[in-house]
Every structure is written in structure tokens, then in C-alpha cells.
Structure 1
Amino acid sequence: MADFETDYLIIGAGAVGMAFADTLLAEDPDCHITMVDKHAKPGGHWNDAYSFVALHQPSAFYGVNSRELGEDRIDDHGPNSGLYPLASGTEVSAYFEQVMNRHFLPSGRVRYFPLSEYKGGAEDGGHTFASVFSGDETQVKVRRKLVDATNYKTSVPATHKRKFSVADNVRITIPGKLPDLWMEGGDIPTTFVILGAGKTAMDTGVWLLEAGVHPDKIIWVRPRDSWLINRRYTQPGSDFFEDVVTSQIAQLDAARDAEDGHAMFAALEVDGHMLRIDPETKPEMFHYATISEGEIALLRQITNVVRQGRVQSIEPGKMLFAGGETAVPGGALYIDCTATAVDFHAYNALKPQFDGDTIILQALHVPLVTFSAALTAFLEVNFDDDATRNALGIPGPLTDTPNTYPVALLTNLMNRMAWAQNDKIRGWLATARLDPSGPTVARLVQEKSPKLAIMGKFQKAAMEAFPSLQRLAAAGKIEHDAA
């Protein structure tokens, strides 16, 4: 017999699960929600992230729809100068805790079970979760739907398992431990070796440089270089509106003229819409990382870059790779930044979000995961059948390379076209904080702003680019499916 009943059982109280629950509460005033999560606090992987982590994207469109995150001001110093601030990991964690404790729980319509693991369900609607510490099980009957908010399977340095061996007398740590090095007195390492090429590694490089480590004392193992989104073209609000749309037009124009994704990104680099750290190295990776030109300038100071693929093992005085080895000064500190933020292979087994009594949260506008989760909740409440909901929300893949990026871009564009033609969704987007463009466009329409003239250029660019984008996406999908 069930211990209690609920309308929606959400597995995962991270950013995605919280965004879905927030919109569900707003759109359906009668529903009851239960949330189950392994962490001791809401916020998911933000609880495990390194201490100096920050959002890649502006805080203005991250989190849950009903509550602002961050300050409405422009940074006036540091590598993000001239752009809207990025919430720190501490700020994000505190934000989600406040959403739970000051909004969800006081509503009387949410039950939250931290330090609990979902065990499974039965055909009669019964589901089981257990306490991580005691193992005691709780039975809950779900009247409507189970919501899987764990499909991204996010991994951070503190939780992932290394895929390389390390000798016992080699000094290795994770980024989150770096701020505590000052407590080691005279045992501060003289050489720092960054392992990994993703945004965590970039953040670590910036942190070391800003902490006073000389660039010559940093070795960076980069198996693949990455294309990076210029944060200047992702800013919210009317002041940046024309720059943002200009960048979107540039993507469409590049897709129209390019032979493949690599050529498309090379074209976008010309006017600074895409960035790379090393101008002499062709990037083979694209994971949607967003960065400022100030951060790029800092990271280019690190010139001792090892490009021999992924490290296989580390021994005193050397790193071993599949095709050779590299000498490293004695006493070096290795910093493991090799965690993959998202399990691309697991996530990209894409499926319809709505499937009877189950919802699997996926990205409807890649890579805006909290916006996508909020929109999914809106679709759940405001449309009557799964076929309609799924047609209005087609999941996009989290692509890995420049050639596969057009697959996601085409999915985003087609979803946006469908939303623009639906009165319900269009109305919701006009007030949705998590949508980077909807509220800004609505405000400019109300003001009859001349800035909206650029939207005509966007529509023209989209029509001209569509056939080529379909061609690039078809070729990219072959590569994507084979990965």
C-alpha cells in the first residue's frame, strides 16, 4: 500500500527538475508534486561543482521562470567586463535552495525528499524510493506522471571516475581543491598541469592565472581544441538585442554558404561570433561553451600545450599517451578536468518527451536546458494529448563537433517556427524569463522600437539558409549517429 499519493513524481531536484516543477505549479494550480533527489540540497550538480565555477551564460535566463537570478547590471571589471554578470556556483546553489524553501514547500503542493534514490515503479502507478542513509523505502502512488529530470546525467570533477591511471606518488587533485592550496604553506607546487580541454579546464586556467600563477608554470593537456561561443552575442535585454540577432543572422548566412560545419564555424570566427583559444589550431570540438574575449586573452598566455590525445597514465616525471610520452617537472600538481559534463551517448538516444505516464526532460532549444524544462511543463498543462505535445517540442541533440552542430540548429529553428505559430506558446514566451528573446521582443513591440527592423533581416536569412541547413544537418546526423 502506498504511503501517500501525488500527481507528479519528479526524479531529480537539479536545475532541470526545478525549472519544470516551477512552471507546473504556475500553470496548474491544483497539482501536487513530489521531488526525489540523491543530494542533500536542491540544485543537482551545482552541489558538487568546483568552488570557483560560474554560469557560462548570463544569469538573466537561467534557473526557474518565476524568480530572477543575479543582478541587473553590467560587470565593470575583470574578463567579463562590459557584459551582464555570471552567477557564481555559490549563488546558484543558494538560489535553488531559496526556490525550494521559500516558494515550493510553502505552497503546500510540493513534497521534497533529499538524500533519496528512486528505485522504480509498477504498472499500477506505485513507485518506490529509498533513503540513501537508512535504506528505508517509501511507496508513492503517482496519479498522473513520472518525470525523469536526470536524462542529462551531468558529471563534474568531484563525482566522475578517472579513465587514466595515476602512480601512488603522483600529486593530483580536482579544481575544487585549488583554493585550499594556500593552507599547505611551503608545499605549493611550482608546476600545474591541467588535464582536459573543456570549459572546466578553461575555468581552471583562468583561475590559476588570476591567482598569480605564471603562465610558464602551467602545462595544459588539450586532446582537442574547441570552438567557443562569444558571450558578447548571448546577452539579454534590449541594449544587446541587435547584436544578438546579428549573430543569429550570421549563423544562418554561414550555414547557407558553408560546405560543412567546420567551414561554417570558420566563417563565424571572422566577425568574432565564434572564438577559439589557439588561432593556429583547427578546433575539432564544440560543446556550446560560452566565453568572453577577456577570458580568451588570458588563456592564450598559456603556451605550453600538449596535444597527444588523452592521457593514459601518469608516472613520476612523465605523462603517457597512446602514441608517446611527455616529460613533466618533478613535484607537479595535476588537475583533473576530464569529467564530461553531459553523457553525450546516453543523452543522445533521443526519444519523445511525452510517453503516456512518463515525461523525459530533454532540450527543446539546445543548449537552454532550464528553458526547455519550463516549456515542457507548459506543454504538459496546456495541450491535451502526447502527439500534439511532442510535435510542439522535438528534442534536439547535444552535438559534439562543428559538423554535427547544424542538426541541433535546425531542430531549434523548426521548434521556434512551430512556437511562433501557436497562440498559447507565443503568449507564454512573451513573459517567460528563461527565454532569451521572447520578453525582449514583446517589450520592443509594445514600444514600437525601430530595433525590431532587424527581425525582417532574420526572417529573410532563415528562408535563404533553410535548404543548406537541411543539407548540413543531414550530413551531420550521419556523423552524429556514428559517434
Structure 2
Amino acid sequence: METDYLIVGAGAAGLAFADTLVDETDAAITLVDRRTEVGGHWQDAYPFVRLHLSSALYGVNSTPLGDDQRQTSGRNAGFYEQATGAEVCAYFDRVLHERLEASGRVTFLGGHDHLGEDGAGAQAVRDLATDRVIHIQPRRRVVDARYLEASVPATHRPSFTVAGDVRCVPVNDLPRCVDDHDHVTILGGGKTSFDACLWLLDHGVEPDDIRWVRPREMWLTDRAGMQPLDDVGTLMDGLSRETEACAELDRPVDILERLEELGRFLRIDETRLPTRWVGTMVSRPEVDSLRTITDVVRLGHIASIEADLLSLTDGEVPSRRGSLYVDCSAAGLNQNPPRPVFTGDRITIQNVRHNSPSFNAALIAWVEARREEHDKNRLTAPNRYVSDADDAIGVHCRSWMTEATWRQDRELSTWIDASRLNLTHGLRDHLAEPVARAGTQRYLETVGAAVARHQDAVHALFG
């Protein structure tokens, strides 16, 4: 068969790319995914997962996710809604059938594995149900939407060993297993472990009955400062505090501590300096609840679990016999090294603006449709997913450098302003508000100095 674009991976990135391509071109598009349904890793998500950012900033550009309502209860009351995993999967299913396939130009091959080039210039795809191989000829590009594919708890292979008399389950199985145990040990220090701890607390498990193996402390972004829509002025103010701190200070630790003082960043344990940063968002009530769990093991990553002993990379501790171990240690976002987004007949979807996955994929599709070849990589300089706090400033500055190139392109700037996936969508409508106006002015006055001051950090990450 023939197609204009073969998109490998029908998760959030592949769908956001296809959605914008449908709007901006008349191309025929084929989506291929190993899973039988669209949504990527969301199909394997644990049952109590939610977006950590607002639904208003996630999904595909053409179709809102949710109703832009504020939450009325719980630890995130007052903040814009965050879709559940089930809601995200249902949304992507509607996007496929009612938006993409309804265009008459998009074909989805679910349950098919992409094998690569077949030696005759076509791409080979195998039907996992029948082993039949299909040869697809892309007239324009192959789009790799799996390069940064996430590792999720349900599908990753644990790096540690577990004795036969110990029960260790992926976080997906926590709800059906917890009632059989009077003690739970959470393994991992990222967003999944936060969700697991909060779920346990919400379901009546006492903090003293939870042990948390947390390899590294992490800087967290206060969700209150990342609210879109009517709160975009406050969001812009927060972004400008980041450029201001980077313009004034040299060391990443000093910048991050300044932003903590300003209420931008948080940490669970205020007595320990975090060494990790991945952009995870939490609310202060969530952090307050997490702090009630005081049995925290900080001896590195888990190596082995026995009935009476936990072995970790930096030491050993006695374990509680009969505890339920919950694996939340999947790596999450893939940290493959950056490569040019546009290379010959291939597009590799990657981070461009940090921590904006759906927006990045949509923007790359717009650039593919609207810009000449020599301009494409200049407008989509790849960024990184990092985990070390010392690298956070270089990642921020890389985004700001790329955004400066966008501001020089009027048509692209207009598209970005109108994109519902853009962090500051609607800001122009709020510039009469003092906080929005002051934040925008501060950002424009400090972003150049911030980038100039941290050129070495950018060079260290990107060359």
C-alpha cells in the first residue's frame, strides 16, 4: 500500500502530529501501533492515574479534553480538571474515529509491529495476529513517534530480584491486592509512587503502615503556578520568575532554591536537597499528605527483596515480613539523546519546549507542513528529558532559545498563540490584568540575560 506519511506509534505524540497534519495538509496518513487501540502507554496505565497537568493543555490541538471545569473537591480543589487514565483513553478513541478517520485520509493499523525498511524502499509492518507482513510505501516521510516512548509500570521489567516468598506487584495491581496485607512498601520516587501513596492514604491505610523506598529527592513544580485559561496571567508570572532567577544566579542549586522561596518549586523533605528534577507537578495539599509518611528508606535503588531484608545500592535494611511490595520504579519518559527532528525522509518527534509533549508534536507537524526544508530543524531544536537537577537550567534555556526563533516568525507565533496546547494560550486576552502584564514584561526583560548567563549549561547538554 501507499501513503504520504507513515506514523509509527499512535500514542499522544503520534495522534497530535496526525491531527495537525490533517488540518494543514491534504496528505494521506497511516498510523501503526503494536497495541490494538490508540493512546500508547495510557492503555497500560494504573487504574487511579490522572494527568499531572491540566486537561486543557493535553491531547490534540483540534479537540478539547474535558470541559475546562475546575475541580470542586479533593487536594486539587480549585484547579482545572485533570483527566483520569480512562478519560484519556476514551478521548483518544474519539479523536481517532470522529476526527482522524472521519477526515477520510487517516488509516489506523492497530496490532501491527513496524519492522523497518524492507530493502526495497518500502516499510515493512507485521500483523501481530496473523504474522502477515504488509509493505507500505511512504511518499513523503516516516514519522517516528516512539523515540521517546515511556516505560510504564505494567510493562517494564524490574531491575531487582524478588524472593519467592515475597509478594511484589506492579502498581496496576495495588487496588486488588492491598486488602490482603496490613503493611505496604512503595518502591520508587517519582510521580507513580506519589499516586500510589496518596491512593493508599485515601483508602484508609495509615501512614505508619506504609514504607517508602525513595532513591532520590526530587524538585517538584507547584501546580498552583501552572494553571491555564483564566489563570494564565499567574502562569506567565511564574515562568518569568524562572527567567529572572536564571538571569541573576549562576548555580542550578541556587536557582532552584530561589524558586522554592518564591513558591514556584516544592520538595517533600525540606531537610534534604533534591538532586532530581523531571518537571513533575503536585499541589501543596498533596505534598502535605505525602509528608505524613515518615518511614522513608534513602539508600539508593532497590537491588533485591527478601522476606526479612531489603538490599539497596547503598546499604541494607530489615524488611517487614508479609509486606506488600508495590513496584513504581519504571523509568518513565525515555531519555534517548537528542537527534535532528528532520532527517531526509524521516521525522523523529522529540521534546522541543520542555515538558510540553502534545504541543511539541503538533508544532513539529505544523513546521513540516508550512516551512521550507532549510528552516525546519532551526525551528524545532530538540530538547532533552533529564533527571538530574543540575541539568534543569540547561533544558529551560534550550527552550527559551528556541522560543526566541518562534517569535521572529509571525505566522508561527500566531499559530502558537491560538494553539490550545500552548502553555500561555489566551495570554493576549489577559494582558490588561496587572499580574499578566508584569509577568510578560519581566519575561521579555530577563530571558535574554538568562540564556546568555547559562550558555555553558546548554553547551554541556547539547554541544
Q: TM-score, normalised by structure 1?
A: 0.93
Give the superposition deviation at 1:373: 0.3
Task: Specify which of 286, 304, 315 is matched with residue 295 of structure 1.
Answer: 286
Question: Which whole-Å CA distance do the structure 1 matches of 2:365 and 2:313 have between them?
Answer: 46
Change (3 A) 1:36 1:52: same
Change (3 A) 1:45 1:78: same
Alignment length (residue pairs) = 462
What's 2:176 paired with? 180
Residues 1:304 and 2:295 aligned together: yes
Residues 1:374 and 2:366 aligned together: no
Question: Which whole-Å CA distance do the structure 1 matches of 2:124 and 2:314 have between them?
Answer: 49
What's 1:23 paired with? 20
Give the superposition deviation at 1:465: 2.5
Task: Specify which of 241, 257, 272 is matched with residue 248 of structure 2.
Answer: 257
- Map residues 30-45 of structure 1 onto 2, 5 A cutoff: 30-45=26-41
Give the superposition deviation at 1:350: 1.1
Give the superposition deviation at 1:181: 3.0
Residues 1:473 and 2:458 aligned together: yes
Give, as a single letter, the amino acid of the residue that structure 2 aligns with 1:397: R
Greater Cα shift, 397-406 or 121-130 = 121-130
What's 1:116 paired with? 112
Task: Specify which of 317, 323, 336 is matched with residue 327 of structure 2.
Answer: 336
Question: Which whole-Å CA distance do the structure 2 matches of 1:295 and 1:16 have between them?
Answer: 28
Deviations 1:80-128 (A, max 9, x none): 1121111010100110011011111121101111111001115654111
What's 2:11 paired with? 14
Moved >3 Å (runs of 4+): 122-125, 448-452, 471-474
- Map residues 289-438 of structure 1 onto 2, 5 A cutoff: 289-344=280-335, 347=336, 349-385=337-373, 387-437=374-424
The percentage of counterpart residues that share the same residue type is 34
Give the superposition deviation at 1:451: 5.3
Task: Specify which of 208, 213, 219 is matched with residue 205 of structure 2.
Answer: 213
Question: Which whole-Å CA distance do the structure 2 matches of 1:109 and 1:253 have between them?
Answer: 46
Q: TM-score, normalised by structure 2?
A: 0.96
Change (3 A) 1:323 1:397: closer
Residues 1:70 and 2:69 aligned together: no
Question: Which whole-Å CA distance do the structure 2 matches of 1:249 and 1:383 have between them?
Answer: 29
Give the superposition deviation at 1:406: 1.5
Greater Cα shift, 6-15 or 287-296 = 287-296
SS of match in other structure, 2:189: coil
Give, as a single letter, the amino acid of the residue that structure 2 aligns with 1:380: E
Deviations 1:425-466 (A, max 9, x none): 0111121111121x3123336xx5555522222211223333
Residues 1:457 and 2:442 aligned together: yes
CA RMSD of aligned residues (A): 1.6
Give the superposition deviation at 1:267: 1.0
CA contact (8 A) 1:397 1:407 kept: no
CA contact (8 A) 1:354 1:390 kept: yes
CA contact (8 A) 1:125 1:143 kept: no
CA contact (8 A) 2:34 2:112 kept: yes
Give the superposition deviation at 1:331: 0.7
Question: Which whole-Å CA distance do the structure 1 matches of 2:228 and 2:277 have between them?
Answer: 23
SS of match in other structure, 2:389: coil
CA contact (8 A) 1:444 1:451 kept: no
Question: Which whole-Å CA distance do the structure 2 matches of 1:230 and 1:59 have between them?
Answer: 16
Q: Which runs of 5+ in 1 are unaligned?
A: none
Question: Which whole-Å CA distance do the structure 2 matches of 1:343 and 1:33 have between them?
Answer: 25
Greater Cα shift, 157-166 or 128-137 = 128-137
Give, as a single letter, the amino acid of the residue that structure 2 aligns with 1:361: I
Question: Which whole-Å CA distance do the structure 1 matches of 2:121 and 2:28 have between them?
Answer: 15
CA contact (8 A) 1:255 1:472 kept: no
CA contact (8 A) 1:8 1:146 kept: yes
Greater Cα shift, 387-396 or 252-261 = 252-261
What's 1:196 paired with? 188
- Map residues 123-272 of structure 1 onto 2, 5 A cutoff: 125-181=121-177, 188-238=180-230, 240-272=231-263
CA contact (8 A) 2:217 2:274 kept: yes
Give the superposition deviation at 1:473: 3.4
Question: Which whole-Å CA distance do the structure 2 matches of 1:242 and 1:24 have between them?
Answer: 30
Q: Which runs of 5+ in 2 are unaligned?
A: none
